[in-house]
Every structure is written in C-alpha cells, then in structure tokens.
C-alpha cells in the first residue's frame, strides 16, 4: 500500500533523510520510531504530498506521490505534528469542512462526520469552538479530521503527544480498531505503544532507516543479549575486572545505591551464553556480599537505544576522539 524507495530529502547541503526504504502492506500498522530530528516528520510530509523529495520514489495506494499528487491526496488522511485546526470554527463545522474538501459526497457527509465524532469521543464538544478546547481534545479533533473521509491510508505524526494515559489508551484502541480496513503509518517516541499497536516497526536515525521488522523479532535479536541485575555489598574495582574477564560477559555497568554501602551492577552478556553461575562465583570469591541476582531481558527501549546510540571508542592519550556511527551491523535487517 505504501512503497518508499531510495527516498532522500536535503535542505540545501544538509540531508534530512537519505535513502529511506520501507513498505507497508495493506491493512498493516507500521510504527515509525526515531529520536528527535531523525527524519520522521520529513518522511511523513513527503508521503502526504506536503513536501517534495529531493530524490527517490514514494507510492501510496499505487499512485506516485510526486507525479500523481491529487490521486494520493484523495486516498490519505493526515495528522501533522500540529493538528491543522481553525480556532474560530466549531468542532462539527470543522469536520464538515474537512469532509467537504476531502471529497466526501453530500449524502454521506453527515454519517461520516458523526462516525468520526463517535470514534474519537468528541460527542460532548461538537458545538465548542476549537480555540477553546484543551490539548487532548484538539488532538482528538486532529485525529477525527484524518479519518472523517474514511481514507484507505492514514498517516499519523505523533498522534498521542500531549494526551494523558487514559486518552492514549483510547487512541491506541481506535488505531488498532482501524487496522485491517485501513493501512496506517504512525510515528512516535512512546515505545510501549509501538509494541502494543504496531505490526511492524521501522527505526530511523540521522535520516537513515536502521531497522524494519516486527517488534518481537527485533527484540528477539537482542534476546541473546541476556543480562543480569546484581546487587552487592563491598564493591571493588577488582571485581569489575574479574567480571569482565568471564567469557560470556560483555559489559558491566556500576551504580552506587545512595545511602547504603551497596552497589548495583548491570551485566550484559554475549549471544546465547548464560554466565550466571560464573558471575555468582566471581562475586563470592572476591569477598563481596551477594544480595540480589536476577535475569534481565531487553525491551524495545533497549533495541531503540542500541540502534540509535553512537558508539564512541574509549579516549586514549594519543588518539583524538572521533565520532563513529557505531550502529551494530548484526542488527540491520534488510527489508
């Protein structure tokens, strides 16, 4: 339903997105994840026809976004980062206006507007001026305008920003309910939401796609990266070195617990190894007291941070510090 190939956009010399490549199947929900400034909004704007790309192609519902813009616009609903609301109109008036310009025929308009109002829980505010609405309601009106004409493709740029947890849940329910009949692409920072609503996730960083896959698959890639959370007393540098020396251990993070003599260690391990007993032995043998030890599994947050954090080589006296794009090559899944 949505096919994006080699999409690039530069503002002068500065590239916003480069060689972006992903597809969304009909009826699917794709989550678009990335840090601020990664290029999410730029990509969404290109898909909606608001921005022209510098190069590459994007096709929505079989129509090219650049050469067949009108056909694309008839088939999409778009909620930008800031909902495009007319403050002097009432909610009902606004939705009728949007239905008109999106081409909903006069006979269907009433029904579609009522349906959108119902789906977005706006029944109590239909006669209220938009300028007087709270942020949550404004966001919902924005959502309503994206779905009022029942478009096959819906593009949502941060649909839950500014909503309270209950409203977020309602929006999530709404989006999940729309899937199947509609193809949805949504961008967000809120990671748990992504794993709960989206069928697939595309992670973008610095204008490039670094991973596209189902959230579970992405997390499975890291499942091998088991870890252990350990709370000990009597911490010493020696222990850290001993732990690093264990073959399965990749990294040890040390955190002092304030107001106590205890320290918390987060140990991440390689691949499929389970150096649990080796770790416990090392701790006991070095004379520390082991208070707690448990397994930790990675979350989508870890995947996100993993894929979007740059690795810096440890600074030494002689070499200058270089920033290197350290996205782990193991985790770039070819779409």
Partner 1 sequence: MTLLANIFAIFRKELQSYFLSPLAYVVAGLFWLLSGIVFVYLLLSPNGIIQEVAIGEQSGIPMPPVDVAYIFLLRYLGIIGSLTSFIVPMLSMGLYAEERKNGTLELLATSPITNWAVALGKLLGVLMFYITLLIPMLVLELVAFAAADPPVPPAVPLVAHLGLILLAAALLSLGMFLSSLTQSNIIAAILTFALVLLLAIMDLVGRQLGQPYEGAIAHISLIKHYENLVQGVFDSSSLFVFASYIILGIFLTAQSIEILRFQRS
Residue 93 Cβ vs partner 1, minimum distance, rounded to whole Å: 8
Residue number with CB closer to partner 1 (161 or 278): 161
| Interaction site with partner 1 (CB under 8 A) | 11, 45, 48-52, 70, 73-74, 76, 78, 80, 82, 84-89, 93, 97-98, 100-103, 145
Residue number with CB closer to partner 1 (145 or 308): 145
Residue 96 Cβ vs partner 1, minimum distance, rounded to whole Å: 9
Residue number with CB closer to partner 1 (78 or 137): 78
Where in the chain does DSSP place strands (E)? 2-11, 14-24, 29-33, 55-60, 63-64, 76-79, 153-157, 183-188, 200-205, 208-213, 227-233, 249-256, 262-269, 289-296
Residue 156's nearest CA partner among 73, 72, 40, 26 is 40
Residue 104 Cβ vs partner 1, minimum distance, rounded to whole Å: 10
Residue number with CB closer to partner 1 (21 or 97): 97
Residue 254's nearest CA partner among 142, 132, 244 is 244
SS3 310: coil
Residue 136 Cβ vs partner 1, minimum distance, rounded to whole Å: 18
C-alpha to C-alpha distances, 47 to 53, 72, 215, nearest whole angstrom: 9, 9, 23
Residue 89 Cβ vs partner 1, minimum distance, rounded to whole Å: 7
Tell me the two tokens of residue 77. 């609903």
Residue number with CB closer to partner 1 (45 or 140): 45
| Helices 165-178 & 135-147 angle (0-180, nearest 10) | 0
């Amino acid at each position: 339903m949505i096919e994006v190939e080699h999409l690039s956009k530069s503002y002068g010399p500065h590239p916003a997105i480069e060689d972006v490549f992903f597809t969304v199947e009909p009826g699917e929900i794709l989550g678009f994840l990335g840090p601020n400034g990664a290029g999410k909004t730029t990509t969404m704007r290109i898909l909606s026809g608001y921005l022209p790309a510098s190069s590459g192609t994007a096709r929505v519902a079989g129509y090219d976004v650049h050469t067949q813009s009108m056909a694309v616009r008839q088939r999409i609903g778009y909620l930008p980062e800031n909902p495009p609301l007319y403050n002097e109109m009432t909610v009902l008036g606004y939705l009728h206006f949007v239905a008109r310009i999106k081409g909903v025929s006069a006979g269907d308009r009433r029904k579609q507007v009522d349906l959108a109002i119902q789906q977005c829980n706006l029944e109590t505010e239909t006669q209220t001026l938009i300028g007087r609405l709270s942020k949550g309601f404004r966001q919902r009106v924005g959502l309503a305008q994206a779905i009022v004409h029942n478009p096959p493709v819906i593009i949502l740029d941060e649909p839950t920003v500014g909503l309270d947890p209950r409203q977020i849940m309602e929006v999530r329910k709404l989006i999940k309910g729309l899937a199947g009949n509609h193809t949805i692409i949504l961008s967000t920072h809120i990671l748990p939401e992504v794993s709960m609503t989206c069928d697939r996730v595309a992670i973008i960083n610095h204008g490039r796609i670094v991973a596209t896959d189902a959230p579970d698959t992405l997390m499975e890639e890291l499942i091998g990266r088991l870890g252990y959370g350990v709370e000990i007393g009597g911490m010493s540098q020696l222990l850290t070195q001993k732990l690093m020396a264990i073959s399965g251990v990749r990294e040890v993070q040390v955190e002092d617990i304030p107001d106590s003599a205890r320290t918390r260690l987060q140990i991440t391990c390689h691949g499929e190894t389970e150096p649990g007993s080796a770790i416990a032995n090392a701790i006991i043998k070095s004379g520390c007291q082991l208070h707690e030890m448990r397994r930790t599994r990675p979350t989508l947050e870890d995947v996100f941070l993993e894929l979007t954090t740059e690795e810096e080589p440890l600074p030494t006296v002689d070499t200058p510090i270089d920033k290197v794009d350290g996205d782990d090559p193991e985790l770039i899944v070819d779409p």
